[in-house]
Amino acid sequence: MQRIIKGLSISYFVQVSLFKEKKYLIMGMFVLVGLLFIARLFYIQVVDNSYKLDADNQAFRKKTEFPARGYIYDRNNKLLVYNEAAYDVMVLPKEISKTDFDTAGFCELMGITKEVFLKKMKKAIQAPNSPRKESVFEKQLSPKDYASIQEHLYRYKGFTVVSRTLRKYPNKTAAHMLGYIGEADKAMTEKDPYYNEGDYIGISGIEKTYENVLRGKKGMRIMMVDVHNREKGSYLNGLYDTMAVPGKTLTSTLDLELQMYGELLMQNKSGSAVAIDPRTGEILALVTSPGYDPNLLVGRERTKNYAALSLDTLADPLYNRATMASYPPGSTFKLVMALIGQQMGLLGAETRYPCAHGYPLLGGRPACHPHASPLALEAAIGASCNSYFSFVFKSVIEDKKFSDLYQAYANWRDIVMSFNIGQRTGSDLANELKGNVPSIKYYNKIFGKSWKASNVISLGIGQAELLVTPLQNANIVAIIANKGWYYTPHIVKAVGGNAADTLLDRFRVKHYTMVKDTAFYRVVIRGMTDAVESGTAHSLQINGIDYCAKTGTAENPHGKSHSVFVAFAPRENPRIAIAVLVENAGAGSKVAGPVATLMMEKYLSGKISRTDLEKRIIEENLIAGSH
Amino acid sequence: MREKSDKSIFYNIDWITVLMYVVLVLMGWANIYAAVYNEEHYIITDISQKYGKQMIWIGTAFLLALIVLIIDENFYTAFAYVIYGLFMLLIIAVPFLGREVKGSRSWFRFGDFGLQPAEFMKFATNLAIAKFLSNQNIKIADYRNTIITLLMLFVPMVIIMKLQNETGLAIVFVAFIFTLYREGLSVNYLLLGFLAAILFILALLVNNIFLFAIIGILCSLSLLFIKRSRTNLFVVALIGIVACGMVKGTSTVYEHLEPHQKIRIDVLLGRGTVDLKKEGYNVNQAKIAIGSGGFLGKGYLQGTQTKYDFVPEQDTDFIFCTVGEEWGFLGSSLVIILQLTLIIRIVFMAERQRSPFSRIYGYGVASVLFFHLTVNIGMTIGLAPVIGIPLPFFSYGGSSLWSFTLLLFIFIKLDSHRLQILR
């Protein structure tokens, strides 16, 4: 039995080894345990990093400090957009104790039912959220609501509050131009790692274009918390903290008064009015109607309101008609035709073309209204003769200086496009359509390779496939007012109070059209003066202000023609160029003309002399009538 | 040779040991300060705080050490049984006279301060065992003496466990197995104990029926290597049956344990699902605190896990977490090395004694310190079950500091007279 026990034990080895003496065996054991502990410590302290992460997760609370977004002012430093504090209640589900979380108390504090609580918790746990990820539990509490829960929230471990800022619009104006803010989604966070899901980000308008300066820079504070989730001060006295940098203010080129006046005139009408200071390219007003109160797209009701606005397909208030709608320019394009004809040496002030209630070469199509015939150039502009400009167009694309019609057409198209037509203006408005100047390729496709002037003659009077946005139209007027050049239209004139900010460099580059001789412009301007003094805009004279204008009636295949009116004022040293389009309102002088002239009068003299006209236009309701 | 010396009481003192003791005590104090650091009471001597109180405990412990050195060395041999009996009476009396603290009835309270007589049972038992085994007529190999020795250990152990409900303080008496081994207890007892421990663990981790099969196979296999005589067959069968009985017994005992005890075992063995917010909390938090210390630690007073109360009982049983977090791998290794150096130094000192009493006592000191070190640090790094026993010289508390001081300094005193006659 002794042998067996010996055999089963290791005492045999003990006896032959160094541990023959018991004291060495005992000491050896002590040392062994010590080494085991040190090895274990090496593993958990040096090799395995997970404990470090766990420690940071439970003792550090990384608090994102959201900077205040930059304010936006109009050109006269009147406030367009400011911020209001709001508070998001955040939840980190894994922090919530399964055993002693006072659900009833929490629900009462938040003013929600248990069902709502459970629903929100489920949302916070499920993808794309997770129990280990902080997500928004309750969005955008008002300062008042926040004050009432603030003192008690510490008792509910797992819940914290982050302060945010919400946009406020004191004048409820220029919604489309300013744009709105949304929450960054997954795609956005992948594109730009600055954003976390749920961060606010400019979605449209200048909120989008100037997002990088308006947003400022997020800060991060690392707070230490104790086991009861109470804050115990900042980690290493804030060594690793970063301060939030507030967003820069923007000074808009907009004239708040003019903008609001424009919106008033355009109420209950579909259309737009764009006013530019031709000397600088600064956009003074960008009215699109119907509009909406920008405050609707802020705060907890945003989603609901947005849905309601986008469901209104008839008025379509979210649609920015000033930059996102393009229309045939109609008669205003005759101004450009007059310039091109002169530029190519095919047209002089004394050139006359006949009119037979229309273009005689094609049997009276395009048609024209009754007037004296034949007319010289200025008078033809004043009378807006369709036949005249059809002749001009024919002469331009059949120009013998070019080997064939295609060459001539290409030349025409180049000159047209130098007026910033058929391409985005490059403004700082977030969304813009290009418009359209049809290409040779396009016509080849439609007519085969043998099309002639007669196929595309209505381009000469701004119809057919020609499309411009109201913003482009206003820019064309500004070019004429400047006699051949323009600055890219823009809506921001200073960033953080600095007008020389490099962001704005591109708006200080003078662009010239391919028609450079100012004499050609003078002829056109005289024609536009005629239009006001004796032509189509005769009824819209403004006391004390000489201006130049051109009416237009854009044919609308879907219904009543659009009323178009472009003008600039004063005639000498113009300070405002304006393009107004009112959908389905008929002749240019009927609705668009009054809107444009009233806005110019308001801008230049600060008051309105034609109050009857003003009253009629404000009361004019073209939306109710159209359906 | 016996000189009633007029030499200084510090004559022949082992200063290395004293120095290590002082270093450990002061390091402990510094870590208690860090663990319960309170910005409003940042002065380490502020006695409204635990670090201030610990300062008083340290001061009195030094005084106690001095008294131990002043008292004649023969006092400890002469009164060994008396001291043992006296403290035995105290631990029996405490549950009836003392006050209940957190479910344990082991405290005498004096205002803000408390004493746990059970702590002192360690040095008293050590004295008694040394006295008993140093008797020249006693051979521990004699089973009757083994039983008497074991009874001297089991009686206080049972009293502390059952009457005072202090498992941690009771279980320490297991440490004396080292002393007994050194004094002639067969190594087979140690090995049997070790095998039994493995069986206990396997019994809880592996399906019992599976274990029975393994034991059967092992027994059958062993027959291939030994002479197949009738006695051998009988012995192997007996071993197999005892082993199976232990497995079954362990499972049965486990099933009848208190829930909180079951959970402690579950946590250690990783059985079932351990909720890190509840039963697994202590160990998990201790590991996080230590693990997050990294190589160099976070720096003194910079430990977030310990300073902000994530680790429970961080000033007493879990004081090592503060070391691990703030001093990192370097600091915690240093503490282990220091403690072990002290223990091994004591073993060396014990071996150089002429007197068996001093040697046996010395081994007892080393054993108790080693057991505390192993279980205390083992539980903070997840290698031992959570048993509430203090880290020697480090943990906050007067009783444990006093008790360790007495334990150690009696030996230092005995050692300083090692050249004198056999006792």
Q: What is the pLDDT of residues A146-170, one digit of tens each?
A: 888 888 888 888 888 888 888 999 9
- B209–A contact, CB cutoff 8 A: no
CA distance B28 to B350: 26
Q: Is the dihedral of CA A340, A343, A346, A351 positive or negative?
A: positive
Cβ pair B288, B18 in contact under 8 A: no
- A191–B contact, CB cutoff 8 A: no
Q: What pLDDT is recorded for position A627?
A: 41
Q: What pLDDT is recorded for position A14?
A: 45
Q: What pLDDT is recorded for position B401?
A: 95
Cβ pair A183, A197 in contact under 8 A: yes
Q: Which amino acid is at B114?
A: G
Which chain B residue has the Cα nearest residue A5?
Answer: B188
Q: What pLDDT is recorded for position B274?
A: 64
- B299–A contact, CB cutoff 8 A: no
Residue A434 confidence (pLDDT) above 80: yes
Residue A607 confidence (pLDDT) above 50: yes
β-pairing, A548-554 vs A200-202, is: unpaired
The domain made up of A267-284+315-487+507-619 has a fold known as Beta-lactamase (3.40.710)
Give B367→chain A minimum CA distance, Å.
9
Q: DSSP of A63-120, one letter per residue?
A: EEEPPPPPPEE-TTS-EEEEEEEEEEEEE-GGGS-SSS--HHHHHHHHT--HHHHHHH
Q: What percent of chain A is modeled with pLDDT above 90?
A: 30
From the list B120, B7, B191, B200, the residue with the least C-alpha distance to B400 is B120
- Which residue has better confidence, A50 or B259? A50
3-state secondary structure of A223: strand
The backbone region for A221, taken as left when phi is positive above 0, alpha when psi lies in -120 to 50, beta otherwise, is beta
- B223–A contact, CB cutoff 8 A: no
CA distance A616 to A585: 14
Cβ pair B288, A55 in contact under 8 A: yes
From the list B176, B194, B199, the residue with the least C-alpha distance to B245 is B199
Work out the pLDDT band at A626, boundaries 50, 70, 90: very low
From the list B307, B340, B339, the residue with the least C-alpha distance to B322 is B307
Cβ pair A548, A332 in contact under 8 A: no
Peptide bond into B95 cis (omega under 30): no
Residue A37 confidence (pLDDT) above 70: yes
- Which residues 67-96 in chain B show a CB within 8 A of chain A? none
Q: DSSP of A293-343, one letter per residue?
A: -GGGGSGGGHHHHHHHHHH-TTT-TT--TTTS--B--GGGHHHHHHHHHHH
Cβ pair A488, A283 in contact under 8 A: no
- A558–B contact, CB cutoff 8 A: no
Q: What pLDDT is recorded for position B58?
A: 95
Residue A267 confidence (pLDDT) above 80: yes
Q: Which residues of chain B fall short of a pLDDT of 50?
A: 1-3, 423
Residue A45 confidence (pLDDT) above 80: yes
Work out the pLDDT band at A20, boundaries 50, 70, 90: low
The enclosing H or E element of B321 equals helix B319-351
Q: What pLDDT is recorded for position A356?
A: 84
The radius of gyration computed from the CA coordinates of chain A, to the nearest angstrom, equals 36
Work out the pLDDT band at A128, boundaries 50, 70, 90: confident
- Which residue has better confidence, B125 or A125? B125
Q: What is the pLDDT of residues B228-244, one digit of tens each?
A: 788 888 888 888 888 88
- Which residues 386-415 in chain B show a CB within 8 A of chain A? none
| Domain residue extents for chain A | 62-112+135-252, 267-284+315-487+507-619
CA distance A240 to A2: 69
Q: Is the dihedral of CA B221, B224, B226, B227 positive or negative?
A: positive
Q: What is the pLDDT of residues B328-350, one digit of tens each?
A: 999 999 999 999 999 999 999 99
Give A216→chain B minimum CA distance, Å.
32
User: Is the ipTM above a cut-off of 0.85?
Assistant: yes
Q: What pLDDT is recorded for position B6?
A: 55
From the list B235, B240, B143, the residue with the least C-alpha distance to B189 is B143
User: Which of A46, A226, A228 comes nearest B295 by C-beta?
Assistant: A46
Residues in Cβ contact with B303 at an 8 Å cutoff, skipping those fewer than 6 apart? B34, B289, B293, B297, B322, B325, B326
Cα B323–B328–B330 angle (5° rounding)?
A: 100
User: Which of B232, B295, B383 comes nearest A45 by C-beta?
Assistant: B295
Cβ pair A338, A347 in contact under 8 A: yes
Q: What pLDDT is recorded for position A11?
A: 45
Q: How many CB pairs under 8 A join A and B?
A: 129
Cα B168 to Cα B215, B336, B388, distances in angstroms: 33, 20, 5
Cα A451 to Cα A73, A457, A462, B69, distances in angstroms: 52, 11, 19, 123
Work out the pLDDT band at A52, boundaries 50, 70, 90: confident
Q: Within a 10 A sphere around the Cβ of A131, how many other Cβ atoms?
A: 16
Q: What pLDDT is recorded for position B85?
A: 95
Give A227→chain B minimum CA distance, Å.
5
- B277–A contact, CB cutoff 8 A: yes
Work out the pLDDT band at A221, boundaries 50, 70, 90: confident
- Which residues 316-335 in chain A show a CB within 8 A of chain B? none
CA distance A523 to B408: 115
Residues in Cβ contact with B123 at an 8 Å cutoff, skipping those fewer than 6 apart? B403, B406, B407, B410
Q: What is the pLDDT of residues A268-304, one digit of tens each?
A: 999 999 999 999 999 999 999 898 999 998 887 888 8
Which chain A residue has the Cα nearest residue B236?
Answer: A4
Domain A62-112+135-252 sits in CATH 3.40.640.10: no
Q: Which amino acid is at A586?
A: G
Q: Within a 10 A sphere around the Cβ of B110, how many other Cβ atoms?
A: 9
What is chain B's length?
423
CA distance A521 to A480: 6
Q: What pLDDT is recorded for position A32?
A: 92
Q: What pLDDT is recorded for position A16?
A: 43
Cα A269 to Cα A316, A480, A611, A620, B114, distances in angstroms: 12, 28, 19, 8, 88
The tokens for B261 are 């005890």
Distance of CA A254 to the CA centre of its chain: 15
Q: What is the pLDDT of residues A465-476, one digit of tens each?
A: 889 999 999 999
Q: What pLDDT is recorded for position A384?
A: 84
List the single best residue of B228, B340, B351 to mutate versus A (max A Cβ within 10 A): B340
Give A45→chain B minimum CA distance, Å.
4
Q: What pLDDT is recorded for position B142?
A: 78
Average pLDDT over residues A63-92: 90
Q: DSSP of A341-388, one letter per residue?
A: HHHTTS--TT--B--SSB-GGGTS-SB-----SSB-HHHHHHHT-HHH
Q: What is the pLDDT of residues A354-376, one digit of tens each?
A: 888 888 888 777 888 888 878 88
Q: Is the dihedral of CA A543, A547, A550, A556 positive or negative?
A: negative
A11/B304 Cβ within 8 A: no
Sequence-ordered strand ranges (E) for A123-253: 135-141, 159-168, 181-183, 200-202, 219-225, 231-234, 250-252
Give A9→chain B minimum CA distance, Å.
7
Cα A445 to Cα A440, A451, A466, A532, B89, distances in angstroms: 9, 10, 16, 41, 114
CA distance B39 to A551: 80
Q: Which amino acid is at B296?
A: L
From the list B34, B235, B299, the residue with the least C-alpha distance to A6 is B235
Average pLDDT over chain A, rounded to whole?
86
User: Which of B187, B231, B277 comes nearest A14 by C-beta?
Assistant: B187
Distance of CA A424 to the CA centre of its chain: 14
CA distance A509 to A506: 6
